[in-house]
Amino acid sequence: MSFLRQISKRITCNQVRLMSQLGDLGSGAGKGGGGGGSIREAGGTFGRNEAAREEEYFYKQQREQLAQLKSGLTDEINFHEEQIKRHQDAIARHKKRVEEMERQVK
């Protein structure tokens, strides 16, 4: 399982646990403790709409965070691949110098 899938799965599992404590989103004060604001406490259509907007906001935020994480990892991979190439070039140069030195000694 890829790293991004693991993080996404972990976040989704946490959201499911949280939602099970709250009851139906937007249906009024839940059993999780806090009410979540006057509109959500009142329940009804306004509460459900507000809950939907909140879920959409957090979904978009999660997607942005995953995109940033992916971008950062891609940059890091590219950096390390460049470093590998530089090290391979340096190894080749040093081997060539060693061969030249061995030829001079003979």
Residue-averaged pLDDT of the chain: 80
Report yes or no on 92 lying in a domain. no
pTM: 0.51
In a domain? residue 16: yes
List C-alpha distances in Å: 71 to 7, 28, 75.
Answer: 15, 39, 6
User: 90 in a domain, yes or no?
Assistant: no
d(CA 86, CA 81): 9
Using CB atoms within 10 Å of the CB of residue 11, give its burial: 0 to 12 exposed, 13 to 18 middle, 19+ buried.
Answer: middle
On whether residue 29 sits in a domain, the answer given is yes
Q: Is residue 34 part of a domain?
A: yes
User: In which element (H, E) is residue 99 found?
Assistant: helix 44-105
On whether residue 84 sits in a domain, the answer given is: no
pLDDT of residue 81: 98
Residue 25 inside a domain? The answer is: yes
The confidence score (pLDDT) of residue 45 equals: 81
Q: Quick: pLDDT tens for 27-68.
A: 555 555 555 666 556 667 877 888 889 999 999 999 999 999
Structural domain boundaries enclosing 37: 3-76
Residue found under tokens 């976040």: 11
Number of domains in the chain: 1
Tell whether 39 is covered by a domain. yes
